[in-house]
Structure 1
Amino acid sequence: MFNALNGTGGGGQIDRSAGNNANTALYVCFIFSGLFGGAIVNKFGVRLTMFTGGLMYSLYSGSYIYINHTGRPWFTIWAGAMLGLGAGVFWTAQGMLMMSYPLESEKGKFITIFWVIFNLGGVLGGVVLLATNYNHEGPLSDTAYAVFLAIEVCGALCALALAPPSRVQRSNGSAVEIKKADNILADALAILRLFSDPWMLALIPMMLSSNFYYSYQFGPYNGSLFTTRTKGFNNIWYWGAQMAASFVFTRLLDCQSLTRRARALVGIAVTFCTVNVVWSGALTVQMKYTHGASSAGPTDYPGGPIDFTQTSRAAGPCILFACMGIQDALWNNMAYWLLGTVTNDAAKLARYAGFYKAIQSVGAAISWQLDAKGVSFKTQLAVNWVLLDIAAILMFYLSFRAKDTSKVTAKRSSYQEDRKMEVEAPSLAIDD
């Protein structure tokens, strides 16, 4: 739901400054909560941390009602900071579950399950935005924000219904072992030591870029080119395309007829090509305008803001925005898959997930400020494109040095005591 709201540019406000600054506050706080999120989740468990983190999303959505009536941005910026603190822990818990629950052969499948559920929120949010603003132009209505708030509160409550990881069994009967941390400080220091891990250092550009492009896609592109209702319409297709792309892409990542090195190389190659095709299209559109609607007047895009009912004008730009969603799905699915193949240890995966979200947030905090400070749209596009290509090249390098590892004997489950069970050890390693 947050993604749908953010996808309108500026949280649905015509003046994007409050939304941009709130997102910067969000991701700055996210950096710290992400780094220490693994320690907090390992200490307090997933249900409580996901519940409290989830509630912060409703606070953020509700804050825009205050802006609608007062025009003052302080509450939204503060709510963004609170959301950053809660979201870092929330997504650390989610990442740990998604990467530690599946067998080695199911990691791509579990990423898809998550990605479909995740983007259903974006699709539902797009429907809400389209329905509540169909005959409304300007900032999103109070009704839209109120519906978002209510749905997000219900979503946070759903976290309390999660089964404890200790009661979860994998498809082959093996247990999921997650040990709670006795010392949060020691666990946090272990996360900070990841800055000396060659794997993590090489993947930093990938992590940094994984949310960097949102500020351009949601602000200078969707937030600047389209009418209010069309922004909601575009959200439906952006997040819907992500679900389809994730489903297809992770079939490749789980293809057992290929070695992991081959799957990594092919997956990154597909992602790299998609990135360059999509951003080439974005550059073609970007050459036609320099700014979006503001208090100074409408966008300078030829013909003014695009409405989805103007089929001939809308088809290309709307389809391109959906393709941006496909690129996002491939990039983040590839990132999670690579992280999930480094180790099978749930406690370590919680740290990796927290580290990933922290570095991701550094990039996001920078990118939202680029738009807040009025950096030209063309410059923002160029920075995004170059960063993604550099990150992809490093991912290629790591995949060339990757190798499949041997199998080790794991603990037998309670109902498989009569036969030995083998599971693959960390599936991707760097040659010495």
Structure 2
Amino acid sequence: MSVEEKSTANIDTHTSENSSNQLESQTNEELRWYDKRIVSWIPAYSEGYFQIVLLAFACFMLPGMYNALSGVGGAGIDLKTANNSSVALYSTYSGYGFFAGWICNIIGVRYSLMFSGVGYALYSGSLLYYTKHPGTSGAGAFVITAGALLGVCAGQLWAAQTSIIISYPSEDKKGRAIMTFWVIFNLGAVIGSAISLGNNMKNGSSMASDSTYAAFIALMGVGVLVAGCILPAHKVWKDKIGGQRVIQQQYPHWKVELINMLKLLVKDPRIYFVFPMFFTSNWFYTYQFNDFNAARFNIRTRSLNSLLYWLSQMIGAFFFGLILDWTRFKRTTRAKIGWGIVFVFTMVIWGGGLHFQQEYTRESAPEMSLIDFKEGRYIGPMFLYFFYGVYDAIFQTLIYYLLGCMSNNPKKNSIYGAFYKSIQSAGAAIVWRLDYYEISYMSMFASCWGLCAGSLVIAAPLVFFFVSEHTEAEEDDFNGEMINVASHVEHKE
């Protein structure tokens, strides 16, 4: 037996022994309250699916509400200040986000999420302050500073989110888990947009009302409390009680985690194929929110558009998630089908968007009357914005699914999530800055379409040649140590 084979055998033996000891310990002790099902058809609190739903509701209150604010264009304040704040947000997000997975593996998912929630609430508070003191340098500086802090907080939140969303479910249920999260998460943006619409129904200006921001601050505070209810990963069962825990409890040294993060870039080069998709995944928000929604619609119609945009994401994620878990096909085939659907949508939806964009320019838009939802001319762009939302959902879901095909290891996935969000934010910081410098609307539109199509083409080799039917336990161990027990069990089920 080779040294490598002996090492693998030792890992499997160690894993098997820990698995048996864990189950024996659980059998001998009385189940804790979070391991019991109060209602037979509702998962126990410690089951992975329940924790995913709880995570989704925390994100419902935090980035979901932030998305509702962003979706109305310029967060309801003037576009230049909002753009500068977004540049600050995504710049810090990009820099810090690269290391967020490393931090998440040290402090855990619960504290990562709670810390993040504070940043979201503070950002909404800065917008409320700005509406009270519009145009002042202090108010503008507060919004920009809050945006920079939010970049750090958001990086931490999404590293924890990625670790949970693609590590807790079994391989045949990852599409469903992503779908469940995306539907609940975007319901937050839908409700947030409904709040904005209700508060601004009689508002004919381009600025949101004070009560809009006050409502968002309160909801984000609740989100912090929900995040505090997330269980530590080592207390969570992957599928059902009596099966396997998600991960052993560990307290890694920060130097070890940093080295592991750097090793991952060398040991798993497949990740480079989806880097362009990472970069693109938030690029089109600037065009859709500012150069489409804010440029052509009044505030109440922008709020309605935002509601429809996030509602369409729920619908898109629901059906796309079912397709990605369609057991009629192998996982390798499902990945190809998913890629094909997104590529076709790229051509059709952005092709439709070209017709509407040709009707106005950055120079002509200020002289044109803003569209109201009561007008007949609203119907066409309403459907276009709706399908922009569908596209965002399936594009992001495909990224999560491909990452889930690459690993079942929570520590590895938190680092994948950090890479994803860091590179995503780098792209967003660039495009928000381009919008600040008033690059032509057509150029902004063309960059969105080109990057979406191009990034999918670059990701094609991963989809067609490197997605396997199962993720083997040995290849999922990126640091030479025992990996999570669930990876071994998954193939026996």
TM-score, length-scaled by structure 1:
0.91
Note the aligned Cα RMSD (angstroms): 2.0
CA pair 411-45 structure 1, distance change in 2 beyond 3 A: closer
Q: For residues 455 and 472 of structure 2, what CA distance do their matches in structure 1 show?
A: 30
1:145 paired to 2:213: yes
Q: Kindly state the Cα deviation for residue 276 of structure 1 after the two structures are TM-superposed.
A: 1.6
Q: For residues 461 and 356 of structure 2, what CA distance do their matches in structure 1 show?
A: 32
Query: More deviation in 181-190 or 371-380?
Result: 181-190
Letter of the structure 2 residue corresponding to residue 159 of structure 1? A
Q: Kindly state the Cα deviation for residue 66 of structure 1 after the two structures are TM-superposed.
A: 2.1
Q: Kindly state the Cα deviation for residue 168 of structure 1 after the two structures are TM-superposed.
A: 1.3
Q: For residues 408 and 214 of structure 1, what CA distance do their matches in structure 2 show?
A: 37
Partner residue in 2 for 1:186: 256
Residues 19-418 of structure 1: matches in 2 within 5 Å? Answer: 19-70=82-133, 71-72=135-136, 73-136=140-203, 137-172=205-240, 173-196=243-266, 197-291=268-362, 299-301=366-368, 304-310=369-375, 312-402=376-466, 403-405=468-470
Which blocks of at least 5 consecutive residues in structure 1 are unaligned? 414-420, 426-432
1:78-106 deviation per Cα after TM superposition (whole angstroms, max 9, x unaligned) = 00000001110111001101111000011
CA pair 205-181 structure 1, distance change in 2 beyond 3 A: farther
Kept in 2, the 8 Å contact 1:179–1:347? The answer is no
Q: For residues 178 and 419 of structure 2, what CA distance do their matches in structure 1 show?
A: 18
Q: For residues 217 and 166 of structure 1, what CA distance do their matches in structure 2 show?
A: 40
Aligned residue for 2:344, secondary structure, equals helix
Q: For residues 279 and 393 of structure 2, what CA distance do their matches in structure 1 show?
A: 16
Partner residue in 2 for 1:416: none
Aligned residue for 2:362, secondary structure, equals coil
Letter of the structure 2 residue corresponding to residue 257 of structure 1? R
Q: Kindly state the Cα deviation for residue 423 of structure 1 after the two structures are TM-superposed.
A: 1.4
The structure with more helix, counted as a fraction of residues: 2
Partner residue in 1 for 2:17: none
Q: For residues 292 and 232 of structure 2, what CA distance do their matches in structure 1 show?
A: 42
Q: Kindly state the Cα deviation for residue 198 of structure 1 after the two structures are TM-superposed.
A: 1.8
CA pair 280-423 structure 1, distance change in 2 beyond 3 A: same
Letter of the structure 2 residue corresponding to residue 135 of structure 1? K
Which blocks of at least 5 consecutive residues in structure 2 are unaligned? 1-64, 475-482
Q: Kindly state the Cα deviation for residue 369 of structure 1 after the two structures are TM-superposed.
A: 0.8
Q: For residues 367 and 407 of structure 1, what CA distance do their matches in structure 2 show?
A: 39
Q: For residues 292 and 38 of structure 1, what CA distance do their matches in structure 2 show?
A: 43
Partner residue in 2 for 1:430: none
Kept in 1, the 8 Å contact 2:117–2:220? The answer is yes
CA pair 178-27 structure 1, distance change in 2 beyond 3 A: farther
Q: Kindly state the Cα deviation for residue 201 of structure 1 after the two structures are TM-superposed.
A: 1.4
Q: Kindly state the Cα deviation for residue 181 of structure 1 after the two structures are TM-superposed.
A: 4.6
Aligned residue for 1:290, secondary structure, equals coil
Aligned residue for 1:78, secondary structure, equals helix
1:360-390 deviation per Cα after TM superposition (whole angstroms, max 9, x unaligned) = 1111111111111111110011111111111
Aligned residue for 1:341, secondary structure, equals helix
Partner residue in 1 for 2:28: none
Q: For residues 471 and 148 of structure 2, what CA distance do their matches in structure 1 show?
A: 45
CA pair 300-274 structure 1, distance change in 2 beyond 3 A: farther
Q: For residues 305 and 397 of structure 1, what CA distance do their matches in structure 2 show?
A: 44
Q: For residues 278 and 262 of structure 2, what CA distance do their matches in structure 1 show?
A: 16
Q: Kindly state the Cα deviation for residue 281 of structure 1 after the two structures are TM-superposed.
A: 1.6
TM-score, length-scaled by structure 2:
0.80
Kept in 2, the 8 Å contact 1:220–1:292? The answer is no
Aligned residue for 1:213, secondary structure, equals helix
Kept in 1, the 8 Å contact 2:246–2:484? The answer is no
CA pair 4-27 structure 1, distance change in 2 beyond 3 A: same
Aligned residue for 1:299, secondary structure, equals helix
Query: More deviation in 385-394 or 402-411?
Result: 402-411
Q: Kindly state the Cα deviation for residue 408 of structure 1 after the two structures are TM-superposed.
A: 6.2
CA pair 280-178 structure 1, distance change in 2 beyond 3 A: farther
Query: More deviation in 392-401 or 357-366?
Result: 392-401
Q: For residues 230 and 361 of structure 2, what CA distance do their matches in structure 1 show?
A: 47
Q: For residues 68 and 334 of structure 1, what CA distance do their matches in structure 2 show?
A: 38
Letter of the structure 2 residue corresponding to residue 213 of structure 1? F
1:269-308 deviation per Cα after TM superposition (whole angstroms, max 9, x unaligned) = 1001111211112111111111389xxxx6344xx11111
